[in-house]
Amino acid sequence: MSTRDLLRLIWANLNRMRGRVALTAFGVVIGAAAVLVLVSLGAGLQRSAISSLGDIGELKKIYVMPSEMSDIPVMVTEPGGAPGKQGGGQGNKPRGLTQQRLEELRGVPGVAAVIPTEELMGGVEMKLGRAVGWSQIMGISLDDMAALGMQIVQGELSLLSGQMVVGARVHENFYDPIRGSNVPISNLLDETIILVAQRWSETGEMSERTLRLRVVGVLKEGGQSDYQVFIPQREVQKLNEWFTGKRIDRTREGYNQAIVVAQSTREVAAAQEQIRALGYQAYSAMDALASINSFFTILQAVLGGIGAIALLVSAFGIINTLSMAILERTREIGLMKALGARNRDVMSIFLGEAASIGLLGGLVGAGVGWGLSRLGNLVALSYMQQSGGGNPFGPADADIVYTPLWLILITILFATLVGLISGIYPALRAATLDPLKALKYE
């Protein structure tokens, strides 16, 4: 029997019991839609969680700090001390990331760049007109910004004295200090922002120091830098000296933090491992990525399993419908055999009918599931807008439910497979009917 004839015969048979086929396929529709929606939900949450980690550039970064617990065993020639003496840590030995240690980090395989960063050691407000804003203020050099792969969408990448570069979402964080309400600012480019550093003396007196900086560039959105403000490293150092009342000599003391940029995301895990082995603290978004991925793989398996149960139930519907069809068509099966049909032909016809019911249910179910996912996103979006909060798992505009193409295909395939497997028992029964008994069946 040719495949074309087989398909035609299957189609005709399904058509003649279309009422029952529709009802049976409806069970599959529910199962397939459930699988699609639930796994889409898992995939959407996973995507949101991953995108909240930032873009690829962010995933290549390893944040390195000196170990809190023990001193880093680096050979240091101390004044008055024996060369090569390890440990100690009496305060005279610097704990920070000195040039020597930065070089050590640069020597780790897979590392593309090591960028020491200067973080502020006290509170600093940003003032723009009457509006007040807060942001993480980072001291950095122009070269290092480029090495970090920072991209400008407005203005230029420049960090001369008196200039600053802001993250893509910094403009959202300005408030009216009296009313407490958000001050909408459309664009910070070319605005002059005044940084106000505050310090309390031991007697409780407050003193202020201001710094005027012009915004020359706005960074591309995506990742950690969205809410950060970048100013020349020297400016941060000066503010820190003012905060602490001490002169800071980074060449001697070293930095408190450095960003290590890996050559590629594949290098991150190994490089991070080695940096830790050298005795530093090292964190990266890849840590989170691995645990996010393993968590969501389990979540999707559980959600998919729940949907699969619905699909499993529909399998009994298919078995039932086919068993009834076989009873009704017993004489016809006998006839086919008398006319010379092989057991394999009879088997293929009933298997094909079962698989077609699965396929039909899978196609409609995938469509329904996709529609429900879209609807779910709309509802979630309007709910989030009402409650004022964003997507708690990621960017505010991202979908909660995400249906990748492979999921649609897998769902349809899976439903077809469920149909096919459900058909095995009835089809075997039909194929092995005794032709004579079948012909005499009333």
Partner 1 sequence: MIQARGLRKTYSMGRNQVHALAGVDLAVAAGDCVAVMGPSGSGKSTLLNVIGGLDRPSAGSLQVNEREVSQLDENELAAYRRSTIGFIFQSFNLVSTMTALQNVEFPMMFANVSPRQRQRRARYLLEAVGLKARIDHKPTELSGGEQQRVSIARALSNLPRILLADEPTGNLDSHTGAEIMALLLRAQRESNLTLLIVTHDPAVAAYAGRIVHMKDGLIVENV
Q: Catalog residues that contact partner 1 under the rule CB under 8 A.
A: 1-2, 4-5, 9, 12, 16, 331-332, 335-345, 435-436, 439
Smallest separation, CB 1 to partner 1 (Å): 6
Closer residue to partner 1 (CB): 9 or 289:
9
Query: Checking phi first, is residue 138 left (phi over 0); if not, alpha (psi -120 to 50) or beta?
Result: beta
Smallest separation, CB 350 to partner 1 (Å): 15
Residue 281: strand pairing partners: 65
Smallest separation, CB 330 to partner 1 (Å): 12
Residues 6+ apart with CB under 8 A from 247: 241
Closer residue to partner 1 (CB): 75 or 339:
339
Smallest separation, CB 335 to partner 1 (Å): 5
**Closest by alpha carbon to 367, among 13, 23, 27, 30?**
30
Which H/E stretch holds residue 316?
helix 285-328
Q: Position 311: which residue type?
A: L
In this structure, what are the phi and psi dihedrals at residue 128, rounded to the nearest 5 degrees? -135, 105
Does residue 257 sit in helix, strand or coil?
strand
C-alpha span between 212 and 195 (Å, rounded): 6
Q: How far is CA 216 from CA 150, 251, 257, in A?
A: 14, 29, 25
Closer residue to partner 1 (CB): 71 or 332:
332
Question: At how many degrees (to 10) do helices 405-431 and 343-387 cross?
Answer: 150
Smallest separation, CB 320 to partner 1 (Å): 22
Smallest separation, CB 359 to partner 1 (Å): 22
Smallest separation, CB 13 to partner 1 (Å): 8
Closer residue to partner 1 (CB): 212 or 331:
331
Contacts 24+ apart (CB under 8 A), 366-370: 366/32, 366/33, 366/36, 366/408, 366/411, 366/412, 366/415, 368/29, 368/32, 368/33, 369/32, 369/33, 369/34, 369/35, 369/36, 369/37, 369/40, 369/403, 369/411, 370/36, 370/403, 370/408
CB 401 within 8 A of CB 37: yes
Smallest separation, CB 9 to partner 1 (Å): 7
Closer residue to partner 1 (CB): 145 or 341:
341
Closer residue to partner 1 (CB): 12 or 206:
12
Smallest separation, CB 323 to partner 1 (Å): 20
CB 158 within 8 A of CB 170: no
Closer residue to partner 1 (CB): 266 or 342:
342
Q: How far is CA 261 from CA 60, 128, 324, in A?
A: 6, 33, 66
Does residue 324 sit in helix, strand or coil?
helix
Closer residue to partner 1 (CB): 56 or 338:
338
Closer residue to partner 1 (CB): 168 or 333:
333
Which H/E stretch holds residue 380?
helix 343-387
